[in-house]
């Protein structure tokens, strides 16, 4: 199975900050990487697919990038509604696997 190692596991930031979350795959996954946002008691919401493509309706302050097996989610100018847990997920091979999540909290 492909392991997805996400870091950090938690992060404190302020409104207006720029934050970066990283996900490392244990082997090549090409660009088969998605990012999701989950708020308490809610279903995950797709933010980024194909490592860097913004899902329709998602604000442009969210962006994704890749470098080899390292993937990054960047949120520019944090807004109050961005405080949530973020997950990466590979769909290169079965079983699809998720990172362990990054909880973004208000400082």
Partner 1 sequence: EVQLVESGGGLVQPGGSLRLSCAASGFTFSSSEMNWVRQAPGKGLEWISYISGSDNTIYYADSVKGRFTISRDNAKNSLFLQMNSLRAEDTAVYYCARGVVTLDYWGRGTLVTVSS
Q: How far apart are CA 102 and CA 87, in angstroms?
A: 7
Interaction between residue 43 and partner 1 (CB under 8 A): yes
Structure tokens of 48? 């980024």
Question: Which x/- pattern, by CB under 8 A, does the window 53-92 give for partner 1?
Answer: --x-------------------------------x-x-x-
Q: How far apart are CA 23 and CA 76, in angstroms?
A: 18
Q: With beta carbons less than 8 A apart as the criterion, state whether 75 and 14 touch.
A: no
| Angle, CA 93 vertex, CA 52 and CA 38 arms, to 5° | 50
Query: Which residue in 42, 60, 81, 107 binds partner 1 (CB under 8 A)?
Result: 42
Comparison of 69 and 89: residue with beta carbon closer to partner 1: 89
Comparison of 9 and 27: residue with beta carbon closer to partner 1: 9
In the complex, the residues that contact partner 1 under the rule CB under 8 A are 32, 34, 36, 38, 42-46, 49-50, 55, 87, 89, 91, 94-101
């Amino acid at each position: 199975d492909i392991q997805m190692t996400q870091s950090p596991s938690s992060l404190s930031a302020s409104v207006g900050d720029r934050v970066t979350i990283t996900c490392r795959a244990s082997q090549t996954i090409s660009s088969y990487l998605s990012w999701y946002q989950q708020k308490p008691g809610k279903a995950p919401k797709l933010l980024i697919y194909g490592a860097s493509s913004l899902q329709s309706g998602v604000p442009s302050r969210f962006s994704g990038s890749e470098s080899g097996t390292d993937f990054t989610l960047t949120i520019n100018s944090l807004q109050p509604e961005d405080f949530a847990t973020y997950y990466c997920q590979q769909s290169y091979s079965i079983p699809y696997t998720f990172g362990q999540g990054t909880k973004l909290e208000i400082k």
